[in-house]
Chains A and B, each alone.
Chain A
Amino acid sequence: MSITYLEAIREAQAHALRDDPRVFIYGQDVGAFGGAFKATKNLAKEFPGRVIDSPISEDAMVGLAVGAAIEGMRPIIEMQFADFSTVGFNQIVNQAATLFWRTQVPCPITVRLPFGGTSGSGPFHSQSLEAIYAHYPGLVVMTPATVDDAYSMLLEAVAIDDPVIFCEHKFLYYHLKAEKLPSEALPVGKARIAREGRDLTIVAYSAMVHEALEAATELAPEGWEVEVVDLRSVKPLDTDTVMASVARTGRLLCVGEAWPWGGVTAEVIARVTSEGFGLLDVPPQRLNAKDTPVPYHPNLWTAHRPTARAVAAAARKLLRL
């Protein structure tokens, strides 16, 4: 048996619905249709009345979820694309994120954002918004890179009392496969060493972990041992694991698919330079998508996002400094 990243997300939701009567799924076409990416396939049939089609209004979707959470429910909201979540931005960042701080009433909602680029998807169906949501106090932002993490972190997202932005990468939906569902997981907020090395630390998350791993493999025959840190969640950010890795290697490259201005890669570098300046043997670098809207054309798209080739090239530069 093998299970994809997308199937793991479906299984996690089924698990949550089965285990906890407070859980329900709300989103556009999540019911009989099974969701835009079939992440809720057959769930409406399996859990009658708990997988509910919403109107085409992200604002209304999140608003309803916040209300339900106040009443003690644990809603999972499916955005069709992360890009559209900006329509519900006000409800997420002004209502959900601040609710507990204002009222001491927790807001255990999970907002699933199918995000990131795929070939030909263009500017409205490719965006990476983890940095924007991570900016707001009160939100947890998860960015699983593996089938195991997609499954266990989604369960964790539903279980915790804070609003969680669950960033699931569309590029990984079908490509990424595992033998079986995991039985145990790292706690939320803990990064993972995806590959060990001693010459350079590449910090990445979500789909970029795989580009970084491929780059590390490409650099191995040249004699470089590259360590890859998978952040898993960008908020909370596991600075300790990153710092420990940089202490081993002295070199840091941060890779993110989001745009370069500000963002997670900038945050990681800011923390390492301010708290671990004496660990750095070369100036830390970051590699992001180009600072333009995401292009439609597959060739342009490949040039726009960091690929394994680009990561390896940036790594080589750092290793030779």
Chain B
Amino acid sequence: MPSIPIIMPQLGESIAEASIINFLVKPGDIVEAGQDLIEVETNKANMNVTSPCRGRVAKITAQLNESYTVGAVLGQIEATQEEVVLAGLDIPTPTKSCDTDHIHAPDVNGGKSRVQPTIRGLPVPANAAGASYLSPRLKARMNELGLHAADLAGVAGSGAAGRVTVEDFERFIAHLEKQKITPASSMRVAVADAMRRSWTRPIAHVGLPVCLEPLFAYRKAARPKPGPALFTLRALAVALAENSAPAGRLVGNKIVHPSAIDIAFAVEAEDGVLVPVIRHADKRSLKELVGPYDELVELARQRKLPPDATGGSIATVTNFGTFGLVWATPIPLPEQSLVLGIGAARRTPSWDAGKGQFVPVMEANLTLSFDHRVIDGGAAGRLLQRVAALMSKPELL
């Protein structure tokens, strides 16, 4: 009587293996064609392996809780010649055996461990899908549609090593077209483009709480009154004027140093962010900067920034505290190496050694995001410490 193998079926796209979680039949059972035999678990769902034909379960070779690749033999069914023909099956020549196919097999009998390749059969590990390799055709097609590699992040590739094939891509596009689609504003696209280009670099972050009491005290008396973002901006300008190296850019094997301490600051505008620039922020005092700063904020909100008020800056300051946030990891502009952030001011307990007790102080977090190719944590930390120190003496700014 012919023996028909029970085979781990292809359970879905990009699924290369599944583990056995339950046997629904035992050797000797009579089963119908299509009857559920073995329950398996994939990284997506639980599914059943069904009987290829009517017959008697001769043996189950698969082990509970073991993982098997698609195509692996899990057991055998004895069937009559007629049943085999009825099911349209070939009489198999045994090719794979359970022993060589299952993954991470603990040798329960011998006790000696064997080295097993992680994946047999399909060349694609199920969890390695993604747009790791773009074929020339796919690149050309994406250029045609104005897409970038980042746009493929949500596409599980069906090609070798999980690459996204042109067919996958076209299916993805067709699928998108079924959903609500609105055009992104040019501001949105510009921000997306800048962030995508910036993200090609290794960006790291450091942070530090800074006491704002001196700043608030100074602000009370000051005319005109500078906001926290401008304080931070001026402090950064002074710190960078002392040592501009951290704001340099790495191009090839050269560091390009800043030619002027021009500092940008982020202003939220409709559907995006604008970054006007204060030129030579190191050369003018805090007091002198308030007027130009307020003017630039207003122009930015009206989206009427003159061309010379944007671009060419060496670092950016962003006050994410205006959103009530205490911590953030902003991304520097692609042409900059630094972005300094300041969080929302909060009253927090601070240990006063003189009084021997906690006292309430106004505090905010300063964060510095930097291109780790240009500076390291130490240099970033020193720069941030220097900014915090400058902010503690606002009358000198």
Is A277 in the interface zone, CB < 8 Å from B? Answer: yes
Are A280 and B135 in touch, CB under 8 angstroms? yes
Return B250 CB to nearest CB of chain A, in Å: 31
Are B159 and A321 in touch, CB under 8 angstroms? yes
Return A248 CB to nearest CB of chain B, in Å: 11
CA–CA, A144 and B163, complex, Å: 39
**A199 to B, closest residue via Cβ:** B167
Extra contacts besides A278-B139, A281-B136 (6): CB < 8 Å:
A250-B135, A280-B135, A281-B137, A281-B166, A320-B160, A321-B163
Is B165 in the interface zone, CB < 8 Å from A? Answer: yes
The 8 Å CB contact of B160, one of A277, A279, A280, A321, is A321
CA–CA, A282 and B135, complex, Å: 6
Interface size class of A (residues with CB under 8 A): under 10
Is B47 in the interface zone, CB < 8 Å from A? Answer: no
Return A76 CB to nearest CB of chain B, in Å: 45
Are B159 and A280 in touch, CB under 8 angstroms? no
The count of residues in chain B whose C-beta lies closer than 8 Å to any C-beta of chain A is 11
Is B140 in the interface zone, CB < 8 Å from A? Answer: yes
Which A166-225 residues sit within 8 Å CB-CB of chain B? none
Which B116-154 residues sit within 8 Å CB-CB of chain A? 135-140
Contacts of A281 in B (CB 8 A): 135-138, 165-166
Contacts of B135 in A (CB 8 A): 250, 280-282
**B158 to A, closest residue via Cβ:** A320
**B140 to A, closest residue via Cβ:** A278
CA–CA, A51 and B160, complex, Å: 59
**Chain A residues within 8 Å of B, Cβ to Cβ:** 250, 277-282, 320-321
Interface centre among B135, B139, B159, B165, by most A CB within 10 Å? B135
Are B159 and A277 in touch, CB under 8 angstroms? no
Contacts of B159 in A (CB 8 A): 320-321
Return A42 CB to nearest CB of chain B, in Å: 51
Return A321 CB to nearest CB of chain B, in Å: 5
**B134 to A, closest residue via Cβ:** A281
CA–CA, A282 and B137, complex, Å: 8
Are A278 and B160 in touch, CB under 8 angstroms? no
**A198 to B, closest residue via Cβ:** B167
Contacts of A320 in B (CB 8 A): 159-160
Pairs A–B under 8 Å by Cβ, sample size 7: A250-B135, A250-B137, A277-B136, A281-B137, A281-B165, A281-B166, A320-B160
Are B166 and A250 in touch, CB under 8 angstroms? yes
Interface centre among B136, B139, B159, B166, by most A CB within 10 Å? B136
CA–CA, A277 and B135, complex, Å: 9
Return A280 CB to nearest CB of chain B, in Å: 5
CA–CA, A281 and B133, complex, Å: 11
Q: Which 5 A-B pairs have the closest CB atoms?
A: A278-B140, A281-B137, A281-B135, A281-B166, A277-B136
Return B81 CB to nearest CB of chain A, in Å: 24
CA–CA, A250 and B164, complex, Å: 13
Contacts of B165 in A (CB 8 A): 281, 321
CA–CA, A279 and B138, complex, Å: 8
CA–CA, A321 and B167, complex, Å: 12
